[in-house]
Structure 1
Amino acid sequence: MVGLLFLLFATNVHAKNLEWYRENGVSIVSGIGSAPMSYEGVNGNEKGFIIDYWRLWSLKTGIPVKFTLGTWSETLRWVATGQSDIHGGIFQNAERERLFEFSEPFHSLQAALVVRESRNGSVDTIYKQYRLGVLAGGYGEAYMLENHPESTIVGYPSVAKLASALMDDEVLGVVGDHPIVGFEVGRLGSTKDLLIKEVLYEEQLRAAVRKSDLELMEIVKWGMAQISEEEIDVIRGRWFVEDSSTTVWIWDTLMIVGPLLLALFVLFFVDWRRIGLGGGSG
């Protein structure tokens, strides 16, 4: 009975707005260059765990979604000012609570201090003497300012830029969500030189809307409640391996290697046909 009353209450709360959003859709933002969470694929389409999660949310709610990827600072500003409706996934802290309403968590991520093995040193030396890259406006930047004021940190607009800076020795270490750092370094060629020096924290990923937009948040939560943990695990299986510190660039690798294998097969088939026809004519 209590469950039925709650369902009726929830339905009445957002019935009108639900129909409006089903007709007009919502805009969802996430960070660009943040594979495997959100990034632009080789064809320019948005891809990643967060993208697939919100596509499933759209399927469950009947609300169309439009994705926009930007630098981390841009995505926060777009939602805080109402330019965009929903942030696809951020960590919650006291500073952000002044700007956003948050959903329940739907995924967790670990952040780590990551260095190249060829630039390894003691943890104390790394924090005190290395230039360390962070995502500008990201949770890791706030963490470093609070917990390691002795460090020299440099902000970058995306994890892709952060990974490039690490591999180009602009910085000697980075603080970030290490599955994402690993994937972006993998896009540059190799992760064999990467070393997770220290796991710093684990935080929960949540959806966010502009502060006081409680009606939209109710719809967001209602849709998220329709998604089972098993369905989320299916999406995780597309983008993560069991050991998240190991990079497996599955989808882009297949997109590159697949056409090459197909071309080789076609050439082999043509040669086989030519040989077969030639042999028959003798």
Structure 2
Amino acid sequence: MTKLPTFAACLLALCLPFAAAAATRTLRVVGDNNYPPYLFIGPDGQPQGYAVDEWKLWERKTGIKVQLTATNWADAQQRLQSGRADVIDMIFRTPERAAALDFTRPFATVETGIYADRNLTGIADASGLRGFVVGVQRGDACVERLRQAGASSMREYTGYSEIIDAARRGDIRIFCMDRSPAEYYLYRLHAQDDFVKAFDFYSDRFRRGVRKGDAATLALVEDGMARITPQERERLHDKWMGQRV
């Protein structure tokens, strides 16, 4: 039997998984619908952001159609667990989630802070949250982190803008939120002067997740993302996160 040259064999091995997947499936991806600049709903009611453009690139690189759904964070996780989605984007790996999901390599570092009414002073670390009700997004990793820190009194909301609206009404005076959407929504809702960041709570790294044991989808996602060039990523960064001046 004639053996394929090493390069041709490697090329065939690399392309076959994409060809088979492209012929048999659509990759269903879900993510948080209020996480600018990565994924959020634009004025036209359609998803937009870094993740939208990145998955379009992934689709072109692999030939596999991507169905990207932006929904509230709790619903996104439920869709994955119930089999209505194949991949969840922009998720932290936590001990609780690791029991049910497998994760890709990390692709971004995210900072999470505790924000408070500007007139509420004296909260310098997590121990100062005890006795206060903390606003959180339903399904957020911050819930798990707050419990570990001993802050068990939380009020859950569907999304970040809902949390800020509740804080402005006085329903809560403290909330936990990732820095990027916090800065975006505080400014957009004209609330940047009403609240301060009390302290940096933690930082973690974004990954993509699949249901536990779904090694084929995990490999498919990783291989497709690896095909996006540094130059293409730089253009995405400049478009959605700004250029240095």
Which residue is equivalent to 1:54? 55
**Distance in 1, Cα, partners of 2:7 & 2:109:** 28
Instruction: Output aligned runs, 1:65-80, within 5 Å.
Output: 65-80=66-81
Which residue is equivalent to 1:165? 166
Say if 2:21 is the partner of 1:18: yes
SS, match of residue 106 in structure 2: strand
Q: CA RMSD in A?
A: 2.6
Where structure 1 has 5 or more consecutive residues not aligned to the other structure, the ranges are 244-282
Which residue is equivalent to 1:64? 65
TM-score (norm 2): 0.85
Which residue is equivalent to 1:127? 129
Q: Check 1:150–1:95 CA distance in 2 against 1; reply closer, same or farther (3 A cut).
A: closer
Say if 2:237 is the partner of 1:236: yes
Q: Check 1:56–1:188 CA distance in 2 against 1; reply closer, same or farther (3 A cut).
A: same
Does the 8 Å CA contact 2:18/2:63 hold for their aligned counterparts? no
> Which amino acid in 2 is paired with 1:94?
P
Which residue is equivalent to 2:141? 139
> What is the aligned residue count?
239
SS, match of residue 58 in structure 1: helix
Does the 8 Å CA contact 2:34/2:41 hold for their aligned counterparts? yes
Q: Check 1:176–1:4 CA distance in 2 against 1; reply closer, same or farther (3 A cut).
A: farther
Does the 8 Å CA contact 1:128/1:151 hold for their aligned counterparts? yes
SS, match of residue 170 in structure 2: coil
**Distance in 1, Cα, partners of 2:104 & 2:58:** 13
> Which amino acid in 1 is paired with 2:107?
F
Residue deviations 1:180-220, cap 9 Å, x none?
12212222124233322211221111111222221111110
Residue deviations 1:1-26, cap 9 Å, x none?
999876554444x24533325xx422
Does the 8 Å CA contact 2:157/2:163 hold for their aligned counterparts? yes
Where structure 2 has 5 or more consecutive residues not aligned to the other structure, the ranges are none
Richer in helix (by share): 1
Instruction: Output aligned runs, 1:90-109, within 5 Å.
Output: 90-109=91-110
Which residue is equivalent to 1:197? 198
Please say which structure displays the higher CA radius of gyration: 1
Q: Check 1:190–1:6 CA distance in 2 against 1; reply closer, same or farther (3 A cut).
A: farther
**Distance in 1, Cα, partners of 2:199 & 2:47:** 31
> Which amino acid in 1 is paired with 2:146?
M
TM-score (norm 1): 0.75
